[in-house]
Every structure is written in C-alpha cells, then in structure tokens.
Structure 1
Amino acid sequence: MSFLDKPQPLWWRKALFQIHLWIGLFAGLYAIIIGISGSILVFKQELAALSYPHLMRAPHPERPERADLFAVMESARVAYPDFRLSGGYLPGLGSENVLIYMQGSRERDLFVMADASDGRLLGALELESTWLHWISDLHFHLLLGLPGYVVNATGAGLLLLLSLTGLVLWWPGIRRWTHALKVDFRRSWRRINFDLHSAAGFYTLAFVVMWSISGIYFVFPKQVAAVVNVFSSVEGGRDPEIHVKAQRRSADLSAVLGQAMRNFPTCRLAGVYLGEDANHPITVFMARGRRSDFTQMDYVYFHPESGRQLAVWHSGVNPTLGSAFVFWLAPLHFGINWGLGIKTLWALLGLSLPALAVTGALMYWNRYLGRRWKRLRSAAPKAESTVP
C-alpha cells in the first residue's frame, strides 16, 4: 500500500488530518474575516466613489486636466492649518480628482480633494470616520492596532499550513483523483459539502498560498526577502531603504517636482510623498503607464532639505527571479492593477476563504460534533428516567 494508490489508511496521513483539522478550527474565524474584508477592499475605489461622490467623482470630467499639483498642495496647507501636508496625488490614484493626503494629531488623517481641471478645493474627508477605513483596519490590523499586524501574519502562516496539509489530504489515490475535482450534486448534502470543500480547496490553492505568503511578507518583509535571497537575489524587487540626515524639510517642492519631470520626460507625474519626517526622502512617483499602475512606476527620491536627487527605483523592472518574486507579492495580493474583470475574479476568490471555513466546520459537525450531540441528547432522557 502506498500514498499514490490508497493514502487514507496511512498513519501519517491520519496524523496530518488532525493537524489540518485543529488548525482549521483555530483559523476558521480568521479566514472568514480576512476573506470577506479583502473581497470588499478590492473595490475600495469604486465603493468610495459611491459613498462620497461629491469628493471622489470629477465635477467636470469633460474638462482637460490643468491643475498644478504643487499649487493644490499649497492651497490645502493654507485651508487646513491644523494638519501636516504629507503627500499629493493626481487623478487615477484613488480618485478622479486631485487627492491631497494630510496628517493631524492623534492619528487623524485627512483626504483633501480638488478639481483636476482648475485646482479648486472640493472638500475634505476624515479617514477615521469612514466605513471603508473600518474595513481596512479590520483587514490589516484586525482592529487591534499595531499588534494586529503580528496576529495577521500568524493567521497567514496558519492559512499556509492549511493549504499545504490540505493538498496532501486532498489526494484520493491514483484511480480516483479526477473525482476529487468535481462536485456531485446528486449525492447527500453531507457528501456535497465534502466535495465542495475538496474541490474549492484544490482550485483556489495557488491563490491562498500566494495570499498567505504575501500576508507574511507585509509584516516581515526583511525576513522573507532574506529567505528568498538565499536562492536568488532580491535586488531590484523592493524599494530601496534610504536614510538621510537633515535638520528640516525645507526643499523647494515645486523645484523637486519640476526636476523629476525634466529627468523623466517619457513618464507622467503621478504624485509625491513627503516622508514621515526630515530623516526620510521625498518620493516623487513618475508613471511609465497608467497612474494607477504601481507595477509600472518610477520612484524618484530627493533629499528633504537640499532637494538633491538621491536615487531612482524602477518599479516592475526585475532582473532576477528573486526580485520578481518579492515584487509581485503586493500587486498579486490586492489584484487592483488590471481592471474590473480581475478585481471581480479576486473578490470571488477571496470569498473562497470563508466558504472553505464554513464547509470545513460542517464536515467537523458531520463527522464528530453532530454524532456527539445526538448521543448527549439520547442520554439525557435515560438519565432523567433513572432519577427516583
């Protein structure tokens, strides 16, 4: 008897089933939360436009884009003096309008919108007050703040173990492996539930593994990159870590933006991020393709005090397999760079996580909890009849 012919009686497969079962029981709720919230966030831009059309929708879409990013950022700075200017993004990056990102005290973040045709400020949105922010916080932090990142990485690790053990358990033998790819709806509901769990787990395996690895990478990027680097260099696949020493952020932002556009004439200005403080560079985003596609973006780094260009990272240009691996973890995780069709597919695939959790829980009920419940119910009348 071998694993290829008839794996079910093998002792180690039975042990692996117990590991799969108990990991599933612990990670089931996590899979439901992360799957549903992730599927919603795939359409974050579309949902924001529906929720706040007066800010996200262009008031004059027929007019050409003429707003100057630097001028709009200065207008936002004057209009909201209690907030610190953090970045500015032209239409395509989260909104049909110019979007200015500002930070305030007590972790208050503000999105200020401006008409792309003339730069007129349209209003502001406090992120913490939106339902989409709550969904994002649930997905990325599990509503636990910064410790939620570590919990999320642990959950992603459990999903990876579930995927790998599930692949071994899925194998029914060389003669029946094609049956494990189908769902026979003529059978009992218990068998249909089993087939759904088995088939869905197989067809979504690659995606769940990708989401698991990328989820771990987002929390521990250096550690994951170090492991990949053992096999293939990751150079070029990650944005460089640039540390500067500056007394203050005093660079002429208008001159910085102008320098980036002159140095990269074949690209389009997409946005700018000013950095957390004076020890971080100013990052200008120059789009080689669509502004919303960060897989085709040049990141140009400038000194926050002198305005001198420090470095360039050509996002999406990966010279090695290792650099391509770590680079594509983020775009593939979110699935938002390739249009509405891929977004819809990603959202449906994300819902496979709660579906697998529910069908797995039903399998546990059918095999163990349901029988135990029946024994307890049948034993209760007998116990009552013996009472004098």
Structure 2
Amino acid sequence: MVDILHRWTGGFIGVLLTMMGLTGAILVHRRFWVMLPHAHDAQDQSTALLAATAQRLMQDGATRPNSIIFATKDFGLDLLAFKGAGGAYADQSGAIVTHWTSQWQRPELWLFDLHHHLLIGDAGERVVGVVGLLAIAFVVTGALLWWQTRKTFAFRLLPKRMSRPAIVRWHRDFGIVLAPLLLLSFVTGTLMAFRPFSAIMFGPGAPAAIAAARKMTPPRYVPAKQALPALDWAAMVRQARARFPEAEVRKLQMPMGKKGVIILRMRQPEEWLPDGRTLAWFDPADGRMIGTQDSRILPAQVRAENMLFPLHTAGVGGLAYRLLMTLSGVSLMLLGSLTTWTFWFKRPKRVAA
C-alpha cells in the first residue's frame, strides 16, 4: 500500500518537484549572475550614505518607490519596487542602473515567482505548501521502502541504464543518501509556504506568537489617494541607526493600503534572516518614530521561524552551504523528472491472461 501511494503520488506531482528543484538550484546563486554595473560593488553601510540615498529616492512623490532593499555584502545594488510589477536597480548612491515594467524583463524575478507562487499568486503558494507536505511524506515513505531492500544498496550518481528497473533501483538508493538534505529543503520550504505547519514544528502556540510579533503600533489613518507630505527620510534612517547602532539597514517600506506605517527593517549581527526582523516604524503624517522591535528579544519560536528563509535559500554558510543546497535542487530535479518519465512512459506492459 505504501509503495502504491508513493509511486502514484510521485507520478502526478513529479513535474512540479522537478521544476521546484531546478529553479531552486538556480536561485541559490541569483545574486552572482546578475550582470549589471555596480552589482559587485562593496557594501557601504555608512549612516550618511544610507540617509542621503533614502532622501534622494523617496523625496519625489512622482518617482517614489514602494520599497527599497539596500545592497548586501554579496550584491552591490539597491532593489526598488514600484506599484504593479515595475522595479529598478540603483547603485548605492541612488542613481538608477536599470529599470523594468514587468517581472518578465528580469529572470531572477520571474524565476522566484515561479518557485514560490507558481506564477499564480497566493493560490500558487498554497499549492506549493501542499506539494511540500507531500514531498516530506515522500522522504518518509521512501525510507521505509528502501529499508525493505537495503541489502541490495548500491550508490550511483546516475542510473546504470535508462531502463525502468535500473531507474527504480537508482531512485531508491540515490534518494536515501540525499534524504536528509532533501528533508531540510522540504521542511523549510513548507514552513514558509504553509504557516499552520509551524504548530507541528515549533509547538501549538507558534502561529499565535509569530502573528503577535508581526503586529505594529496602531498607525494613523492615511487616505488612499492622498500623497505623503514632504518628509525627512534621511532623519528616519538616522533615528533608526541611533536606536540600533550595530544593525545593518536593510529595507525601507512605504505604508500598505489605507492604513499603514513607514517601516525600516534592520538586521542585527546575530540574525540569519537577510532583511532582519529588527524594525522601526514611522508615522506617515510627519515622519515621527512611533515604535521599534528588537529581534533579539522576540520569543524563541519567532526567532526559530526567522531562520527558515536563510536555511532554505542558503543565505548563511557561505559557498559550501550554497553548493550543498544546489546539490539538493539538482537531485530533486533528477529524482522528479526520471520518476515522471518511468511512471508515464516506461510502465510495464500488461500481459493478457
């Protein structure tokens, strides 16, 4: 029964697993194959430069982006997001390097959307969450099936032949070796796409604790069609830096919807999350700081949840860990594609009685 469920489910979602493995392996290195001027500039986190850049990019309401993600240690450009699907890269002084009006103009953007949302928004993310749960079940049932034939174990990087028996045997033995790495990818990815799963991993109170940590000071009302007044964006950066002097400034976010606050995200030295979870909130009416959140004093469940994204995307661990997660993606692509092929095109022919 376990064998039938494992085989039939894999046959139907093998294509999705293949796509997720391939796109994941590519996206791990996305910062290094964006070939643009200043992409490999050294990161400058001086408060003066950050404040001047924020003021330059945000002061004009006609060209103001919805958010700025500042340069990192391995990517020297700021990422700007505008309404709709528009965006731009700017150097660290705020000068625009390139811009786009659709994500299809930037491969790193649509590949991420394909991997995370299947190009269909929130519905796609829910599908990815379900596929992740099934993938975890694949690892467990696959290990059970391998145990029954463990005495014939023979590790190969590729099948000995492209026949169905050889591929099935390779799938079983190759899969058990890569099982811990695949399980790491599946668990971290599923936890990000399917939030209720956190109750299983981090305890029953985890979803409520995570939601509470994301609540902010009640914002002032901002009419949807009213432009923000002239604000001192540079002063916001300086205030946040004074409150958290050791933190790396990561993202400046405009208010969302009719009600909202201006958010400056920062990353403490001990945080793994690339954009951090240390926050400063500003009143959109006058730019006054109205609240902060220090990631170092968040509940343990929330801090554990913040580690998922860098573990899944190889945002920590340097080149060695990136190569390890690349291996995970390539292995998933091979397992998924050959499984689909053998299930649909290499099935044994029925012999008449």
TM class, shorter-chain normalised?
A: 0.7 to 0.9
Across the aligned residues of Structure 1 and Structure 2, the Cα RMSD in angstroms comes to 3.7
Q: Decide whether the 8 Å contact of 1:287 with 1:296 is kept in 2.
A: yes
C-alpha deviations, 1:207-249, integer Å up to 9, x for none? 333333333333332x233444645757876752226231235
2:10 to 16, 24, 27: 24
C-alpha deviations, 1:53-109, integer Å up to 9, x for none? 225243xx6999686223323333467x54442233433177313x152313xx132
1:30/1:163 Cα in 2 relative to 1: closer, same or farther (>3 Å)?
Answer: same
1:242 aligns with 2:216: yes
AA of the residue aligned to 1:111: A
Give me the whole-angstrom Cα distance separating, in 2, the residues matched to 1:290 and 1:122: 32
Q: Decide whether the 8 Å contact of 1:69 with 1:89 is kept in 2.
A: no
Q: Which structure 1 residue ranges, 5 or more long, are not aligned? A: 1-14, 377-388
- Identify the residue that residue 344 of structure 1 maps to in structure 2: 323
Equivalent residue of 2:65, what SS? strand
Equivalent residue of 1:25, what SS? helix
Give me the whole-angstrom Cα distance separating, in 1, the residues matched to 2:65 and 2:348: 58
Give me the whole-angstrom Cα distance separating, in 2, the residues matched to 1:346 and 1:270: 24
- Identify the residue that residue 225 of structure 1 maps to in structure 2: 198
2:135 to 154, 159, 182: 159
Work out which of the two has the higher radius of gyration on C-alpha atoms and give 1 or 2: 1
Normalising by the residue count of structure 1, what TM-score does the alignment of the two structures yield?
0.73
Q: Decide whether the 8 Å contact of 1:42 with 1:335 is kept in 2.
A: yes
Q: Decide whether the 8 Å contact of 1:73 with 1:85 is kept in 2.
A: no
Could you tell me how far 1:292 is from its partner in structure 2?
A: 8.5
1:113 to 90, 96, 99: 90
Q: Decide whether the 8 Å contact of 2:210 with 2:302 is kept in 1.
A: yes
C-alpha deviations, 1:109-152, integer Å up to 9, x for none? 212402x3xx2514332251212222122112212233222222
1:135/1:330 Cα in 2 relative to 1: closer, same or farther (>3 Å)?
Answer: same
Give me the whole-angstrom Cα distance separating, in 2, the residues matched to 1:122 and 1:254: 19
C-alpha deviations, 1:160-212, integer Å up to 9, x for none? 22222212111126xx45x4363499976645433421122212223333333
- Identify the residue that residue 123 of structure 2 maps to in structure 1: 147
Q: What percentage of residue pairs aligned between the two structures are identical?
A: 18
AA of the residue aligned to 1:351: V
AA of the residue aligned to 2:39: M
- Identify the residue that residue 5 of structure 1 maps to in structure 2: none
1:103 aligns with 2:82: yes
Q: Decide whether the 8 Å contact of 2:24 with 2:115 is kept in 1.
A: yes
1:278/1:303 Cα in 2 relative to 1: closer, same or farther (>3 Å)?
Answer: farther
Give me the whole-angstrom Cα distance separating, in 2, the residues matched to 1:354 and 1:147: 23
- Identify the residue that residue 72 of structure 1 maps to in structure 2: 53
- Identify the residue that residue 312 of structure 1 maps to in structure 2: 293
- Identify the residue that residue 24 of structure 2 maps to in structure 1: 38
Q: Decide whether the 8 Å contact of 2:251 with 2:264 is kept in 1.
A: yes
Give me the whole-angstrom Cα distance separating, in 2, the residues matched to 1:346 and 1:33: 15
1:180 aligns with 2:180: no
- Identify the residue that residue 329 of structure 1 maps to in structure 2: 308
- Identify the residue that residue 262 of structure 1 maps to in structure 2: 242
Give me the whole-angstrom Cα distance separating, in 2, the residues matched to 1:327 and 1:21: 34
1:298/1:181 Cα in 2 relative to 1: closer, same or farther (>3 Å)?
Answer: farther
- Identify the residue that residue 37 of structure 2 maps to in structure 1: 54
AA of the residue aligned to 1:218: M
Equivalent residue of 1:351, what SS? helix
> Which structure has the higher relative contact order (CA within 8 Å, separation 6+)?
2
Q: Decide whether the 8 Å contact of 2:25 with 2:327 is kept in 1.
A: yes
Give me the whole-angstrom Cα distance separating, in 1, the residues matched to 2:108 and 2:248: 29
C-alpha deviations, 1:353-381, integer Å up to 9, x for none? 12112343455479x72434xx69xxxxx
Normalising by the residue count of structure 2, what TM-score does the alignment of the two structures yield?
0.80
Q: Decide whether the 8 Å contact of 1:183 with 1:196 is kept in 2.
A: yes
Equivalent residue of 1:182, what SS? coil
